[in-house]
A = this chain, B = another copy of it.
Amino acid sequence: MAGLILDKVAVVHFGLGEVASAVAAAGAPLLHGEFLPPAQGDLRLVSALNRLLSPPLGPEIDKANQVALERVLASRPLLVGVATAREAVPGMDEDLFLHAGPPIEWDRMCGPLRGAIIGGLIYEGRARDPEEAARIAASGAMRFEPCHHHQAVGPMAGVVTPSMPVWVLTDKASSRRVFCTLNEGLGKVLRYGAYSPEVLNRLRWMAEELAPALSAALAVKGPIDLRAIMAQALLMGDEGHNRNRAATSLLFRELASPLVKAVRDPEKVARVFDFLNQNDHTFLNLSMPMAKCMLMAAEGTERSTMVLVMARNGTDFGIQVAGLPGRWFVGPAQAVEGVYFPGFGPADANPDIGDSAITETVGLGGFAMAAAPAIVRFVGGTAQDALARTEEMGRITIGRNPDFAIPALGFQGVPTGIDIRKVEELNLLPVINTGIAHKEPGVGQVGAGLTHPPWECFHRALIACEEAFGSSNATEVTCCR
């Protein structure tokens, strides 16, 4: 043993591969460990990160983030009704369409979002055909604004037009109201940019028969506690984003008896049951506004670096931070790594799209993978990967949500409240479960998989937090914690 040390130099190295390869080239024994400095070693970001982590600011932000998380956990979103967007959604008018993700103009919109807007214009009777619709959309006659600017969320393209029915949620703990369209099912649907007559006829049936029936049933039933359903569904293999079969089933059970009491035409009731039974994603359009409702409780928490929104319009990915309400930090929407339906591949895929990443923002979806081992078949990977994914997301979050317990992890709560400081410090991006849309309008879903926000969102948010929260008497830049 002694001889080894005296005779030779052996190197244990963490850091850049170039240094290690020089040691190896010199013939010395080498143990090379992966290491990336915080914030990928970018000096401007390291400086901001240091300021946001170190005293005096760091502990203040820690406290603010605890407050933000407590506000999220105290929220109690209740499903209270169904209404049309024009009646219910604040600021909605006839010339306004909402869409998923951060703000975007028509000429930068991706195929599926354009398709959904074209479909929306025909659905609203503003255009007779796709060509006319595209002309109107490009003319500036319509305004396009994010759902998130109107207390709403929408899956995939997320287009909400004035005549569409929306679920109405209220927070029991406040007077907040949140909205989301009703899920159309799978196959050719507007949210994936399809706008054939079949798609538009389904939307009309949803507005004319489904929505009034659900509205009447909810009037009989009274408010439904969505967190309670979500908590049960996490014990039943859902993660609340790509898998919603359990929550949809439990909601179905709750609504069945009120539906037959409220709607006297049995054929109509049967059509509603058939539609809901054919669509395991019915509850996605409730887990999303539930998540939005919970997160809005933390909006404006001073000096909090907790992520409040993650949303994509198919071109850009935008995040918002609790302590900087209303500001978007944007980067390019990423590709989705996943499993494609037969006949489709990566070349057909649109980049990541939709407001559904609000589920990850509240600790569901990719953050709750451990609850849904069955999902790995559809996004690639193993049950062990699913457990590891949830544990990993625990490293970038502020805490756990004990009400959303995962049995496979000893009933630990889902990791909740992404701290942009931890994302940068650990170089670890949030993981998002999502569907994959075809890049051309009118085609629809082509697969499902996993993706991440772009780094730009977090870099920009970090700098903005430093500028907004950092005081002039902050400590010198020394080192990261």
| Contact yes or no, A257 B236, CB < 8 A | no
Q: Which of A246, A260, A382 has the most CB of B within 10 A?
A: A260
Report whether B277 and A257 are in contact in the complex, using a CB–CB cutoff of 8 Å: yes
- CB pair B253 A407 closer than 8 Å: no
Is A373 part of the contact surface with B, judged by Cβ < 8 Å?
yes
- Among B249, B256, B270, B277, contact of A273 (Cβ-Cβ < 8 Å): B256
Which chain B positions have C-beta within 8 A of A267? 261
Measured in the bound complex, the distance between the Cα atoms of B123 and A146 in whole Å is 63
By the criterion CB–CB under 8 Å, are A250 and B253 in contact?
A: no
Q: Does A74 interact with chain B (Cβ within 8 Å)?
A: no
Q: Does A377 contact B (CB under 8 A)?
A: yes
The answer to the question of A23 belonging to the interface, with a C-beta cut-off of 8 Å to chain B, is: no
Residues of B within 8 A of A253 (CB): 249, 252, 273, 276-277
Of residues A252, A264, A409, which shows the largest number of chain B Cβ atoms within 10 Å of its Cβ?
A: A252
Residues of A219-270 contacting chain B, CB below 8 A: 232, 235-237, 245-246, 249-250, 252-254, 256-257, 260-261, 264, 266-267, 269-270
Residues from chain B with a CB closer than 8 A to the CB of A273 are 253, 256-257, 260
Which residues of chain B have C-beta atoms less than 8 A from A254's C-beta? 277
The docked-state distance in angstroms from the alpha carbon of A253 to that of B270 is 11
The verdict on A410 contacting chain B, using a C-beta distance below 8 Å, is yes
- A413 CB to nearest chain B CB (Å): 14
The count of residues in chain A whose C-beta lies closer than 8 Å to any C-beta of chain B is: 35
Which residues of B sit under 8 angstroms from A236, Cβ to Cβ? 236-237, 245-246, 374
Judge if A479 is at the interface, Cβ distance under 8 Å.
no
- Complex: A142 Cα to B407 Cα, angstroms: 48
Residues facing B in A308-344 (CB within 8 A) are none
Asked whether, in the complex, the Cβ of B374 is within 8 Å of the Cβ of A235, the reply is yes
Question: CB-nearest residue of chain B relative to A263?
Answer: B266
Q: How far is the CB of A372 from chain B (nearest CB, A)?
A: 8
- Residue contact B235 to A407, C-beta cutoff 8 Å: no
| Distance of A382 Cα from B377 Cα, bound (Å) | 25
**Are the CB atoms of A277 and B249 closer together than 8 Å?**
no
A376: contacting residue among B276, B383, B407, CB under 8 A: B407
Q: Cα distance A254–B276 when bound, in Å? A: 11
A264 to B254, CA, bound (A): 20
B237 lies within 8 A of A257 (CB): no
In the complex, whether A411 has a CB less than 8 A from a CB of chain B is yes
Nearest chain B residue, comparing its CB with the CB of A372: B407
Q: A263-287 interface mask toward B, CB cutoff 8 Å, 1 = contact, 0 = none?
A: 0101101100110110000000000
Since A236-B236, A249-B249, A260-B269 are in contact, a sample of 14 more A-B pairs with Cβ atoms closer than 8 Å, ordered by chain A residue number, is: A232-B245, A235-B237, A235-B374, A236-B237, A236-B374, A246-B246, A260-B260, A260-B266, A260-B273, A261-B267, A264-B266, A374-B407, A383-B408, A408-B408
